[in-house]
Amino acid sequence: MVTANAAKQLIQHYVDNFRRLPWRSPPGERPPNLYRVWLSEVMLQQTTVATVRPRFERFVQRWPTIESLAAASDEAILSEWAGLGYYARARNLIACAREVARRGSFPTTAAGLRELPGIGAYTSAAIAAIAFGEKAPAIDTNVERVISRLHGLKRPVRAEIERLLLDMMPDDHPGDLVQAMMDLGATICRPKNPRCVECPLHADCAAFASGTAEAFPERRRRSARPHKYGVAYWIERGGSVWLVRRPSKGLLGGMAALPGGEWTRSVPDRVNAIGAVRHVFTHFELDLHLVPRAEPEGDGWWQPLDRLSEAGLPTLYRKAAEAVLANNDRLAA
């Protein structure tokens, strides 16, 4: 029975190699604090454990409970989030914390969790399995890859993956299997060069037996990202730079930013830039040109350059500021 044996091996491997993370309980023990599970799952969406870990620690030190987070200002939370990317997540995090605080507690099922802002199918299932012991199929790309390889599926269908995952989940602590699967996908059953000889599943794995483990599942072709262009203004006076806050809706909504124009598909005319950065968003790539201006643009504030790191700039604008400042240093040298 491939599934039962594989599940047993995988959980044993997890028990032996458990990674201590501030949002986890050791295998078999009481589930961790729900606020921590939720916060970590939201932070980990599209972001690595190594990046999230120190940021998570800072977050829970500053806001140890969901009530304290719900009571914090948008600006404070968005600044703390700066650099983690995907800012829609931060706005959903705020909305979710306030909704849970209003209700008095989190819902206790995957279906209930899904009604909250920013909690989709994967996150609701992962939280429910880890925190409530619900046999909920938490399927991200790591889990999909491991199951596809284990069963030799080239073009897996979601419902099939779900069924195969549910078949592997034990009644006791199903969250341990979810976390074991996540760890295996991240560290051993990697997209490229899977480390099959170290894998607890290799005796049962169809992809390994085929000798071409990496070929499972077939890669979906990604269409090339469209390219956009934009201009941001560098307005510097007396050792400070003028910053604004972006509109609350849309990309980087509510985040601190350099003022500037719309981002469009057309290549800008000659702009006499003092710097430029390329930044890759999920759906497009942006070339942002930095142009000097003398007078402040829009509602904003003067941010001292020696305290720029405290402004909560997202990565795009942090890179842009670094490009200008490096250019200034070069010219001064």
Kindly list the catalytic residues.
41
- Give me 90's structure tokens: 């931060």
Q: Which of 77, 139, 168, 213 binds ligand SF4 (CB under 6 A)?
A: 213
Q: Is 150 in the site for ligand SF4 (CB under 6 A)?
A: yes
Question: Which one, 145 or 279, has the nearer CB to ligand SF4?
Answer: 145
CA distance 316 to 255: 11
- Provide φ and ψ at 163, rounded to 5°: -65, -45
Q: Is 161 in the site for ligand SF4 (CB under 6 A)?
A: no
- Provide φ and ψ at 260, rounded to 5°: 175, 180
User: Nearest Cα to 186, choosing from 140, 219, 218?
Assistant: 140
Q: Which of 42, 82, 188, 258 binds ligand SF4 (CB under 6 A)?
A: 188
Q: Which of 93, 207, 232, 235 binds ligand SF4 (CB under 6 A)?
A: 207
User: Nearest Cα to 69, choosing from 87, 81, 83?
Assistant: 81
- 189 Cβ contact partners less than 8 Å away, ≥ 6 residues apart: 142, 145, 146, 149, 195, 199, 201
Residue 22, judged by CB atoms within 10 A of its CB (0-12, 13-18, 19+), counts as middle
One-letter-per-residue 3-state SS of 185-249:
HHHCCCCCCCCHHHCCCCCCCHHHHHCCHHHCCCCCCCCCCCEEEEEEEECEECCEEEEEECCCC
Q: Is 258 in the site for ligand SF4 (CB under 6 A)?
A: no
Question: Which one, 118 or 185, has the nearer CB to ligand SF4?
Answer: 185
Q: Is 153 in the site for ligand SF4 (CB under 6 A)?
A: no
Selected range binding ligand SF4 among 60-68, 151-159, 204-212, 232-240, rule: CB under 6 A? 204-212
Selected range binding ligand SF4 among 50-58, 202-210, 225-233, 317-325, rule: CB under 6 A? 202-210
Residue 217 beta carbon to ligand SF4: minimum distance, rounded to whole angstroms: 11
69-88 residues in contact with ligand SF4 (CB under 6 A) are none
Q: Is 181 in the site for ligand SF4 (CB under 6 A)?
A: no
Selected range binding ligand SF4 among 17-25, 90-98, 102-110, 142-150, rule: CB under 6 A? 142-150
Q: What angle do CA 143, 146, 151 make, to 5 degrees?
A: 125
Q: Is 177 in the site for ligand SF4 (CB under 6 A)?
A: no
Selected range binding ligand SF4 among 34-42, 57-65, 143-151, 226-234, rule: CB under 6 A? 143-151
CB 218 within 8 A of CB 153: no
Phi-psi region of 288 (alpha: psi -120 to 50; beta: other; left: phi over 0): beta
CA distance 162 to 165: 5
Q: Is 201 in the site for ligand SF4 (CB under 6 A)?
A: yes
Residue 149 beta carbon to ligand SF4: minimum distance, rounded to whole angstroms: 4
Q: Is 202 in the site for ligand SF4 (CB under 6 A)?
A: yes
Q: Is 156 in the site for ligand SF4 (CB under 6 A)?
A: no
**Residue ranges binding ligand SF4 (CB under 6 A):** 146, 149-150, 188-189, 194, 196, 199, 201-202, 205, 207-208, 213
